[in-house]
Amino acid sequence: MRSDGTIVARRYFPSPTPHVVIEEVTYYVDGLRVKGLLASPVAKGRWSGLLYLRGGIQSIGTVRPARIAQFARRGFVVFAPFYRGNRGGEGRDAFVGADRNDGIVGIEVLKQQPNVWNDRLHVIGYSRGGAMACWVGIAREDIRSVTVWAGMSDIVATYKERVDMRRMMKRVIGGTPNRNVRAYRDRDPLSNVYRIEAPVHIIHGARDTNVSFGQACRLENELRAQSKQVYTTYLKRFDHFIPQMENRMLVGRVTRWMKRQEMK
């Protein structure tokens, strides 16, 4: 069996900008071939590495080349796993179950790129990816920052808040939080955030109904209770989706914050 993180295939993928080259990468995780997109600045040089963890499940919320290119244009090599079972990858998307290893091992994909500084690695998770990003921060000591953007951090709260997702969560996770306590608890990063050593940046809209603002507050409170470094950007006027102009400003703000963490 090939070791976790081994890259077994890469091929050209259309890029939305001439300033960024994108490849589809296939790598091994837990004996499975998992796929993702790798975006790199065209300009020669060495760059910080960024693991981008998508939201949604299966085809919903899949990785968008334009999104990862936004970060690549700001001086990052970006790797965004599709997660197992998606886009031709092997295995089954388990919604923050064993598939969180796809993110944890994704750091190894970045480390193999010759244009990446291996001591300047970051992770950002959007929506469902917020919980995945927390687990990467819990599992790895070689990252400089964790950003949770409109991110889920409380799996049980998500089940209660999102009636439209309950059928999927019952099918994928197995039953309800009351009937299968362990499966939900095992996915929930909140009780393990004391193990995160990197600073955490929480970005969340106060009007978010996809992932409640309360989840961001609980994550912040738990991190502060554990004396962790926490930074917050709370957006009073916005929900889960940020308008294009404000989104560009936020990408600039969060990437500058990441760069500052490298100087510490």
The per-residue pLDDT string of the chain (264 residues; one tens digit each, 9 = 90 and over) reads 689 999 999 999 999 999 999 999 999 999 999 999 999 999 999 999 999 999 999 889 999 999 999 999 999 999 999 999 999 999 999 999 999 999 999 999 999 999 999 999 999 999 999 999 999 999 999 999 999 999 999 999 999 999 999 999 999 999 999 999 999 999 999 999 999 999 999 999 999 999 999 999 999 999 999 999 999 999 999 999 999 999 999 999 999 999 999 998
* Parent domain of 26: 7-153+189-262
Question: Is the distance from CB of 211 to CB of 237 less than 8 angstroms?
Answer: no
In which element (H, E) is residue 10 found?
Answer: strand 7-13
Per-residue model confidence (pLDDT) at position 222: 97
Least Cα distance to 231 among 213, 219, 249, 215 occurs for: 219
Total count of residues recorded for the chain? 264
Instruction: Give the sign of the dihedral formed by CA 247, CA 36, CA 102, CA 48.
Output: negative
Asked if residue 23 belongs to a domain, the reply is yes
Domain for residue 166, yes or no? Answer: no
Helices (H) and strands (E) in the chain, counts: 8, 9
Residue 104 domain flag: yes
140 touches 104 (CB < 8 A): yes
Query: Which residues, at least 6 apart from 121, have a Cβ–Cβ distance to it below 8 Å?
Result: 48, 49, 50, 51, 107, 110, 111, 142, 143, 144
Q: Is 103 exposed, middle or buried (0-12, 13-18, 19+ CB in 10 A)?
A: buried
For position 1, what pLDDT does the model report? 64
Residue 191 among the catalytic residues: no
Place of tokens 């709260």: 157
State the pLDDT at residue 2: 83
Contacts of 252 (CB under 8 A, 6+ apart): 74
Q: Give domain status of residue 165, yes or no.
A: no
Q: How many CA atoms lie within 13 A of 95 on its CB side?
A: 24
**161 lies in a domain?**
no
Establish if 58 belongs to a structural domain.
yes
Q: Decide if 182 is inside a domain.
A: no
Residue 90 lies in a domain: yes
> Mutual orientation of helices 244-262 and 65-72 as an angle, nearest 10°?
50
How many structural domains compose the chain? 1
Q: Which member of 15, 40, 127, 145 is catalytic?
A: 127
Q: State the virtual CA torsion across 260, 196, 251, 97 in degrees, nearest 10.
A: 160
Q: Is 204 a catalytic residue?
A: no
Q: CATH code at 104? A: 3.40.50.1820
